């Protein structure tokens, strides 16, 4: 197996602003793994909230590419037809610490290994996961923070997307929700990105509830399940946590403190861990959402293959950029995810 990686800068259509940051581009890394005449593709987005940046992700993947050339035998189990899922799991477990500690890099490799295995078996990933593509959910489309008239314009531009996710956490959130509701009656999800205290969250959520909110994402900073429980008990709107959860180990304390969790491949280290998280969350009575960062169709399509297994999808990163290098998951006229039926991820390079 040969692995190569290259930087790929994604250009955003609009500056993307959330409660704590704003950005015009995303410095992602694409990785390819070639084995047995097939090529798997993966993508990493540096998750800055959890201390990763472009340099660390690029270095980890670069390290992997060199490390792999000295350990070609590790890829051999991927050649066998049976038990390829455990071959992926073993390969991920055997990654050196320089790579394993950077979850964005692990996520990219996990995606590329899955793509390779799907192609080897001649099956789309959703089939390997036992998912029914007819059950893929509608994805929300995110409206970043901006002056209200600009947010209203973005809502008008998002005409083809039936479900909107509104970023808040500004000190003028009521004004934002009033402005959005003045121009649309679509279902709204709201993401505060950890911006509020417990008291502010209770007050702010109660204030915006009359606008008809499907759920609120991450009202308070992570690490405070008791605070989260207080917010949840004081409001009628379901609470989904995002920044509070990276991987499986974070889930048990959230049972009863939140209504659901937002899983992202770049937080948890890929599809293998995401599947474990879905199972664990379900067993604890938590709803599951699949989210993303600013990612191309590579990572978004990977997550989309899991989407029939979850309740909510927020897989719109590739819709926010102007230079997507691939075609993969598509949307039907109702915003529902259409999963590729080609083997593996099912990506096609764009001309």
List residues near Mg ion by CB under 5 A. Answer: 191, 217, 242
Fill in the DSSP letter of residue 259.
S
Smallest gap from residue 310 Cβ to Mg ion (A): 15
Closest CB to Mg ion among 84 and 139?
A: 139
Q: In the complex with Mg ion, which residue's Cβ is closer, 102 or 245?
A: 245
Shortest spacing between CB 118 and Mg ion, in angstroms: 28
Strand order of the β-sheet with 287-290 is 141-143, 164-167, 188-191, 213-217, 239-241, 260-263, 287-290, 312-313
Q: Least separation, in Å, of the C-beta of 262 and Mg ion?
A: 6
Which DSSP state fits 114? H
Quote the least distance from Cβ 244 to Mg ion, whole Å: 10
Between 27 and 217, name the residue whose CB sits nearer to Mg ion. 217
What six digits make up the tokens of 84? 């390829």
CB 31 within 8 A of CB 4: yes
Least distance in angstroms from the C-beta of 194 to Mg ion: 9
Q: Considering beta carbons, is residue 77 or 221 the nearer one to Mg ion?
A: 221
Contact yes or no for 334/66 (Cβ under 8 A): no
Q: How far is the CB of 193 from Mg ion (least distance, A)?
A: 6
Closest distance to Mg ion from the beta carbon of 50 (Å)? 13
Q: From the CB of 51, what's the least distance to Mg ion, in Å?
A: 17
- Report the b/e string of 145-172 with b at 16+ CB within 10 A: bbebebbbebbeebeebbbbbbbbbbee
Angle (nearest 5°) at CA 275 between 274 and 276: 90
Closer to Mg ion at the Cβ: 155 or 261?
261
Q: Which residue is nearest to Mg ion (CB)?
A: 242
Q: Which helix (H) or strand (E) holds 13?
A: strand 2-17
Task: Indicate the residue among 87 and 168 with the shorter CB distance to Mg ion.
Answer: 168
- 100-110: b (≥16 Cβ within 10 Å) or e: bebbbbbbbbb
Closer to Mg ion by Cβ: residue 191 or 295: 191
For residues 241 and 32, give the distance between their C-alpha atoms in angstroms, rounded to a whole number. 32
Q: Which residue has the tokens 């500004």?
A: 170
Is the CB of 169 or the CB of 340 nearer to Mg ion?
A: 169
Crossing angle of helices 271-283 and 297-304, in 10° steps, is 40
Residue 32: exposed, middle, or buried by beta-carbon count in 10 A (0-12, 13-18, 19+)? middle
């Amino acid at each position: 197996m040969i692995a190569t990686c290259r930087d790929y800068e994604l250009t955003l259509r609009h500056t993307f602003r959330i409660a704590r940051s704003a950005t015009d581009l995303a410095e992602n890394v694409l990785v390819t793994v070639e084995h047995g005449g097939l090529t798997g593709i993966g993508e990493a987005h540096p998750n800055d909230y959890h201390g990763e940046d472009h340099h660390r992700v690029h270095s980890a993947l670069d390290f992997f590419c060199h490390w792999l050339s000295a350990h070609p035998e590790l890829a051999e189990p991927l050649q066998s037809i049976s038990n390829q899922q455990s071959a992926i799991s073993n390969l991920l477990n055997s990654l050196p610490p320089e790579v394993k500690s950077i979850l964005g890099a692990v996520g990219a490799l996990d995606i590329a290994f899955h793509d390779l295995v799907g192609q080897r078996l001649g099956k789309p990933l959703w089939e390997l996961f036992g998912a029914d593509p007819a059950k893929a959910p509608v994805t929300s489309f995110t409206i970043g923070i901006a002056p209200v008239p600009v947010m209203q314009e973005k809502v008008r531009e998002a005409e083809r997307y039936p479900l909107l996710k509104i970023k808040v956490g500004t000190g003028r959130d009521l004004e934002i929700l009033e402005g959005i509701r003045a121009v649309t009656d679509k279902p709204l999800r709201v993401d505060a990105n950890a911006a509020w205290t417990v008291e502010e969250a209770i007050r702010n959520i109660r204030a915006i509830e009359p606008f008809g909110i499907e759920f609120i994402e991450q009202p308070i900073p992570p690490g405070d399940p008791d605070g989260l429980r207080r917010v949840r008990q004081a409001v009628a709107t379901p609470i989904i946590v995002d920044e509070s959860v990276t991987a499986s180990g974070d889930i048990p304390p959230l049972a009863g403190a939140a209504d659901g969790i937002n899983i992202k491949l770049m937080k948890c280290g890929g599809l293998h861990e995401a599947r474990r998280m879905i199972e664990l969350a379900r067993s604890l009575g938590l709803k599951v959402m699949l989210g993303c960062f600013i990612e191309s169709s590579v990572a978004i399509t990977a997550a989309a293959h899991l989407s029939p297994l979850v309740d909510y999808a927020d897989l719109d990163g590739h819709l926010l950029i102007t230079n997507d290098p691939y075609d993969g998951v598509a949307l039907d006229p109702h915003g529902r995810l259409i999963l590729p039926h080609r083997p593996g991820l099912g990506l096609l390079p764009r001309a």
